Amino acid sequence: MPVAPFPILFITATRIGDAVLSSGLIRRLSEEIPGARFTIVAGPAAAPLFEDVPGLDALIPLQKSRDGGHWLRLWNQVRRRSWGLVVDLRGSALSSFVRRRRRAVYRSASGPAVHKVIEAARVLGLQDDPPAPHIFVGETAARQAEALVAGEGPILALGPAANWIGKTWPIERFAQAAIQLLGPGGPLAGGRLLVAGGPQDAGVLPTLRSVAPRGRFIDLVGKVDLVTLHAALGSARLFIGNDSGVMHLAAAAGAPTLGLFGPSDERLYAPWGDRGRVLRGARSLDQIRTLDPDLRQAICHMMDLSVDSVVAAARRLVTETEAPRPAQIDG
């Protein structure tokens, strides 16, 4: 007997990183609710992450407006349907004004800081078994990613950009670390260098391209969609990057991931999973906040993180993850 459709309105984050960290909830709902059909609402940058979700009826990019008019526009798009479940990770009032059988809405909680994966899981009462981030990868994206990373030698992937200069480790240091890791005696000796980022990050390319031998440089900066980028990162033997959406994509793909932290809170945003590690310089987040209380100044807070410490941490992570995991493919 055919299963009746169960329409789910899922409202997720504006930013890519936060959307990745809550993505496991969609997989859990897909697995546990027969006939689940999704309408997913996300920020314009994050929306493409969900293009391969099974049972996807609609993907709605939600562009914020200062007057809050984006919620009225969204209400007009979803009000005519009766929803089996509304999941709202933004904590809006929208679910009060649409027809729905059940709703699960984010509410801020007091107490110690918890990782964003756990925070998202609380919305569905899953904090004791939080679903790991999961980006669905369709056949087209999987094949494209496979072609992009085809070749000989292990891949060192770098995510050298971030959404603010304060979180950005100097590009010259990324280059120096890559030389040591890929060069003679390095744990990835003879390997290839993959650089990931968005179109706005193209400025990192000249410095990094110059440290990779001809034919061993994979440029994925603004070249592919987010799902394909995620799938390609799953082939990396090691990923090193600033706290960013790309870092979370790499961790979600199963790549051994070394996240470089300074003016952001690793308790909330560490790369999720047993292959994720965090490294920061000598200063704590509280010490950085003493200098820059609002974390808005246009200064780099990553200068106390040395190349030697990053290379040492990278070597340890390679050793600790000797058996690479296969790339993720969803049918």
Q: What is the pLDDT of residue 142?
A: 98
Quick one: average pLDDT of 236-262?
98
In the chain, the domains with their CATH numbers are 6-122 (3.40.50.2000), 142-320 (3.40.50.2000)
Residue 125 has pLDDT above 90, yes or no: yes
Q: What is the pLDDT of residue 331?
A: 53
Q: What is the pLDDT of residue 324?
A: 54
Q: What is the pLDDT of residue 66?
A: 85
Reported as a pLDDT band with limits 50, 70 and 90, residue 277 is: very high
| CB-CB neighbours of 107 under 10 Å | 7
Reported as a pLDDT band with limits 50, 70 and 90, residue 111 is: confident
Provide the whole-model pTM.
Answer: 0.94
Give the pLDDT confidence of 171-228 residue by residue, as tens digits. 999 999 999 999 999 999 999 999 999 999 999 999 999 999 889 999 999 999 999 9
Q: What is the pLDDT of residue 84?
A: 97
Q: Are 255 and 239 in contact, with CB atoms under 8 Å apart?
A: yes
Tell me which residue of 62, 271, 50, 18 sits closest to 141, measured CA to CA.
50
Residue 327 has pLDDT above 90, yes or no: no
Residue 3 has pLDDT above 90, yes or no: no
Task: Look over the chain and give the mean of its residue pLDDT values, rounded to a whole number.
Answer: 95
Give the pLDDT confidence of 204-219 residue by residue, as tens digits. 999 999 999 889 999 9
Query: What is the DSSP code (8-state) at residue 190?
Result: T
Q: Identify the burial level of 60 via C-beta atoms within 10 angstroms of its C-beta, where 0-12 means exposed, 13-18 middle and 19 or more buried.
A: middle
Evaluate the CA torsion angle 313, 278, 292, 205 in order and state its sign: positive
Q: Are 237 and 156 in contact, with CB atoms under 8 Å apart?
A: yes
Reported as a pLDDT band with limits 50, 70 and 90, residue 329 is: low
Q: What is the pLDDT of residue 109?
A: 83
Reported as a pLDDT band with limits 50, 70 and 90, residue 2 is: confident
Supply 72's token pair: 């009225």
Residue 330 has pLDDT above 90, yes or no: no
Query: What is the DSSP code (8-state) at residue 22?
Result: T
- Higher-pLDDT residue of 135, 326: 135
Distance of alpha carbon 258 from alpha carbon 253, whole angstroms? 13
Q: What is the pLDDT of residue 1?
A: 66
Give the pLDDT confidence of 137-165 residue by residue, as tens digits. 999 999 999 999 999 999 999 999 998 99
Q: What is the pLDDT of residue 67?
A: 87
DSSP, collapsed to helix, strand or coil, labels residue 214 as coil
Q: What is the pLDDT of residue 325?
A: 57
